[in-house]
Structure 1
Amino acid sequence: MTGDVRRVFRMDNEVLAFRFTATVSGRAGLTPGERLADPARLKMWLAATGLGVTDVSPKDLKGAVALREAIYRIGSAIAAGGQPESEDVRTLNTMAAAGHAKAALEHGHAVWRLTETTPVRDALGVLATDAVRVLGGPDRDRVKNCEGPGCAGLFLDTSRAANRRWCSMNTCGNKVKKSRISAR
């Protein structure tokens, strides 16, 4: 499944909530690509991030997409030096409060234990809580949108000089460098 997941989703962002926003590709392009096309895709993505659930309904998918878009809009507003919309903040806070996942240490690794009754809501709560931590934490001024062609994905600039321009050097950074070489 790991290979299948990596063909479908970008899993290279260090911030879990921003990795979730990357389930839409080419946000700065003319036609962004939806990677969460159906409940099975959301189930696959959650499993790949350690938030495995047994079933995802169309309603769960709708809630996940609403959360993803709220995270993206808040992050983009912060990256631009602006204020997020209050409705997006309300969506984020509501989803964070609704989850009942518990962090645990198992076999030397941090894992999330989801409840049996509301595992998808719990998983979305983990994503929302991660977003709150990053978007409202001390590094919020390091949240940026990727400058890669067509990307605009969110990332946390952890470079010493705070001058990183791409969400990932392996994808967007390489595309820019290759295009510069080709132009010569």
Structure 2
Amino acid sequence: MAHSPAPTTPRFRSGAGRLCLDFLRTLRLRGMDGATEELPTPEALAAWVAQLGPYPEDMNIPAPAQDVLRQAQRLREAVYTLLTAARGESGPAGCPPEDRALLNRAAAGAPPVPVLDEDGSVTYTAADPVRAVLTHIARDALDLATSAALERVRACAGPHCAAWFLDTSRPGNRRWCSMGACGNQAKKSAWRTKHAAGVAG
């Protein structure tokens, strides 16, 4: 009897609410012991674009050159610097000139192009799929940093998580980057603490 293939688990985390915030997550545990680079190779960057970019699932995303990987990593850090400044007292004007210039250069590129298909659906294409998504990320970061939505950017309350996310909940009091991950871990930890206290009492 033939077995259907097991569903594949997405390689990268998503669900931050904005593409630029998902991109920030590729440096896992930023600022903590055990910080991990999730885009160490051009192939990893291509895989991220294939998973989180707007392209069709069957579209081939070739691995970019090594210099494009370095540009992507620098862009990610510039996005972090911009959003950190924007969330502070200085606002987006506090972004250092070199990071602002990098973001502006990236945003000036050609983003993924929407194409209306015969069946009425829209698909996206690009001559350079990876660079196009980097342009999209830069534009998304500039938009977020200068919009009212910035007030809804939160840092996950998980003690072993440094992910940022856009809180779209109506009350605006979401605490976790994901209830399925950090939220459940916090609940389990609280239950164990409460249970241990009950046993000790």
Q: Same fold (TM over 0.5)?
A: yes
User: CA deviation digits over 1:134-158, x for unaligned, max 9?
Assistant: 2222312111222211222111111
Match of 1:149 in 2: 159
Identity %: 34
1:47 to 6, 25, 50: 50
User: Is 1:119 equivalent to 2:124 in the alignment?
Assistant: no
Q: Distance in 2 between matches of 1:33 and 1:98?
A: 28
Residues 22 and 47 of structure 1, relative CA distance in 2, 3 Å threshold: same
Partner SS state of residue 62, structure 2: coil
Where structure 1 has 5 or more consecutive residues not aligned to the other structure, the ranges are none
Instruction: Tell me, yes or no, if the aligned pair for 1:43 and 1:55 is still in contact at 8 Å.
Output: yes
Where structure 2 has 5 or more consecutive residues not aligned to the other structure, the ranges are 1-5, 195-201
Shift, 1:10, TM fit: 0.8
Instruction: Tell me, yes or no, if the aligned pair for 1:146 and 1:167 is still in contact at 8 Å.
Output: yes
1:178 to 161, 182, 188: 188
Match of 2:85 in 1: 77
Instruction: Tell me, yes or no, if the aligned pair for 2:28 and 2:162 is still in contact at 8 Å.
Output: no
Mapping of residues 1-184 of structure 1, within 5 Å: 3-4=8-9, 6=10, 8-49=11-52, 50-51=54-55, 53-83=61-91, 84-86=94-96, 87-106=98-117, 109-115=121-127, 118-184=128-194
Shift, 1:44, TM fit: 0.6
Give the stretch that moved more between structures: 41-50 or 71-80: 71-80
Shift, 1:119, TM fit: 3.5
Q: Distance in 2 between matches of 1:112 and 1:73?
A: 29
- Which runs of 4 or more aligned residues in structure 1 lie more than 6 Å from their structure 2 counterparts after TM superposition? none
Equivalences, count? 180
Give the stretch that moved more between structures: 152-161 or 78-87: 78-87
Shift, 1:114, TM fit: 0.9
The one-letter amino acid of 1:122's match is A
The one-letter amino acid of 1:55's match is A
Q: Distance in 1 between matches of 2:135 and 2:151?
A: 23
Instruction: Tell me, yes or no, if the aligned pair for 1:28 and 1:151 is still in contact at 8 Å.
Output: no
Partner SS state of residue 114, structure 2: strand
Shift, 1:58, TM fit: 0.9
Q: Distance in 1 between matches of 2:171 and 2:70?
A: 39
Q: Distance in 1 between matches of 2:37 and 2:180?
A: 21
Instruction: Tell me, yes or no, if the aligned pair for 2:106 and 2:138 is still in contact at 8 Å.
Output: yes
- TM-score in terms of structure 2 length: 0.78
Shift, 1:66, TM fit: 0.8
Shift, 1:42, TM fit: 0.5
Residues 148 and 171 of structure 1, relative CA distance in 2, 3 Å threshold: same
Q: Distance in 1 between matches of 2:89 and 2:169?
A: 19
Instruction: Tell me, yes or no, if the aligned pair for 1:18 and 1:155 is still in contact at 8 Å.
Output: yes
